[in-house]
Amino acid sequence: MHGAGRIRLGTRDDTRRAELVAAAHALLAGARAASVPVVHVRIAFPKGHEGVLTNAPIFRNVVASGAMEEGSWGAEFFDGLEPRGGEAVVTHGRVNAFFESSLEETLRGLDAGRLIVAGVATNSVVEHSVRHAADMGYDVVVAADACSAADPAVHAAALFNLSLVAEVSAVDDIFPGVAA
């Protein structure tokens, strides 16, 4: 998502990036103000990408570029969207945030029934994870304006597809009155 990042999945447009970050800020502010538990999810890979299964183009690209290596700038949260004390952090290493991560255990520990999901890329980690969450029985809401893909048409298509398994809403509809 960052303009200097090694992988371009979030958004190509600097104007859209600013809107996306503002919506993500508003979503976090709304959740925190409403005392909704916040779980931050990030993707990161072992140093040297040791053990990363490269069966798919996305993972071959990650390894070849050295992207999102644990402890590197690319595996950190975007400036201003970092976790605060007491907020859970889950790290995953595949497209589905639930796969071989502590996400399911974390959500069960919070007794979560409804998930509000945001992130990048809409057509990748967001879509895979939302579908998995719906299959697990969670009521899922996708904060559409706090998600993005490199191509706006791909983002729109992913949201259309996700509307079959989740509610797709704007941040202001989820937490009214919180400015994006």
Q: Residues 149-164: pLDDT tens digits?
A: 989 999 999 999 999 9
Identity at 125, one-letter amino acid code:
V
Among all chains, which residue has been given the structure tokens 């809409």? 122
Tokens of 80: 């201003």
Whether the per-residue pLDDT at 168 is higher than 60: the answer is yes
Element at 118 (helix H, strand E): strand 114-120
Q: Residues 39-96: pLDDT tens digits?
A: 999 999 999 999 999 999 999 999 999 999 999 888 888 889 999 999 999 999 999 9
* Predicted TM-score (pTM) above 0.85: yes
Distances (CA, A) of 103 to 100, 145, 158, 173: 9, 23, 22, 26
Q: Which domains does the chain have, with CATH numbers?
A: 14-174 (3.40.50.850)
Of how many residues is the chain composed? 180
Say if strands 139-148 and 88-92 run parallel, antiparallel, or are unpaired.
unpaired
